[in-house]
């Protein structure tokens, strides 16, 4: 049987490869795992898949789940965005890829991709400075995520751009109309929060003479994942909606 130091080394290398560490170029990455099963099932958020893959491999080496989770926590593979706490951009594509595969395998599942833009983050940065604007950004993403989670469907959260974040929402009873209603409610709560902070009159740098662009809020687009499209097509459909709403 492999000795303990060697086990630990092998598992740390595995953790680095699962998290896409540049030092492990050439090792098998999770993009090969879109159709793979772990104890997390066919579909899982990338962060969950990464952890369960590690724990499954650790079990094969004789480690307990508790010991494996402790080692995983020390491995550096548990990454998240420092402002929002959401999964980083690199987790988005493998998660969407597995959602596509899961829906293709089970047509009863309903899955959607949600793209959200922060309206007037540039104005917030100019008025507050980056540190305080990050606090506002964090609260806006927290409000939005809470409304998504209140739907009762499974969801994964990502920050994939400076003023952009996104969700994958999946469940047998998930519906686009419910997601859009939840996001509209989130935006109303965000507007109240912005008003309470005295930020409703902050001008938009690109539209300084347009009061309708003042303050801050969210702009969102929802695209259906039907199991036949590519991740690029999923992103494009949601982004098209966001861009159309921005131009109003």
In a domain, 238, yes or no: yes
Compute the distance between CA of residue 63 and CA of residue 72 in angstroms, rounded to an integer.
Answer: 12
Q: Which domain holds residue 203?
A: 89-246
For residues 47 and 61, the answer to whether their CB atoms sit within 8 Å is no
Domain match, 145 and 209 both:
yes
b/e string for 183-200 if b means 16 or more Cβ within 10 A? beebbeebeebbeebebe
Domain check: are 122 and 215 in the same one?
Answer: yes
Per-residue pLDDT tens over the stretch 189-227? 999 999 999 999 999 998 888 888 899 999 999 999 999
The reply to whether 113 and 149 lie within a common domain is yes
Q: Are residues 56 and 96 in the same domain?
A: no
Closest CA to 16 of 86, 68, 102, 74: 74
Contact 46, 95 (CB under 8 A): yes
Q: Are residues 132 and 49 in the same domain?
A: no
Does 141 lie in the same domain as 205?
A: yes
- Within 13 Å and on the Cβ side, how many CA atoms surround 98? 29
* pLDDT at position 35 over 60: no
pLDDT band of 70, cuts 50, 70, 90? confident
SS3 72: helix
Give 120-153 pLDDT, tens digit per residue.
Answer: 999 999 999 999 999 999 999 999 999 999 999 9
The count of domains in the chain is 2
Question: Is 84 a domain residue?
Answer: no
């Amino acid at each position: 049987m492999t000795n303990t130091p060697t086990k630990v080394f092998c598992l740390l290398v595995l953790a680095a490869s699962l998290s896409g560490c540049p030092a492990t170029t050439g090792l098998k990455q999770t993009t090969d795992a879109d159709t793979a099963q772990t104890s997390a099932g066919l579909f899982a958020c990338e962060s969950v898949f990464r952890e369960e893959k590690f724990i499954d491999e650790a079990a094969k080496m004789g480690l307990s789940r508790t010991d494996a989770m402790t080692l995983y926590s020390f491995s550096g593979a548990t990454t998240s965005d420092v402002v929002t706490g959401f999964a980083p951009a690199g987790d988005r594509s493998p998660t969407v890829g597995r959602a596509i595969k899961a829906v293709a395998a089970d047509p009863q599942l309903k899955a959607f991709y949600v793209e959200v833009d922060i309206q007037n983050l540039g104005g917030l940065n100019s008025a507050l400075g980056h540190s305080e604007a990050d606090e506002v950004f964090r609260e806006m993403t927290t409000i939005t995520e809470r409304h998504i989670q209140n739907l009762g469907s499974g969801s994964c959260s990502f920050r994939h751009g400076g003023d952009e974040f996104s969700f994958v929402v999946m469940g047998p009873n998930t519906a686009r109309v419910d997601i859009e209603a939840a996001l509209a409610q989130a935006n109303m709560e965000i507007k109240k929060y912005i008003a309470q902070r005295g930020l409703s009159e902050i001008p938009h740098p690109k539209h300084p003479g347009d009061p309708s662009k003042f303050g801050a809020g969210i702009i969102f687009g929802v695209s259906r994942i039907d199991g036949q499209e590519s991740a690029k097509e999923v992103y494009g459909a949601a982004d098209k909606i966001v861009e159309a709403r921005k131009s109003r």
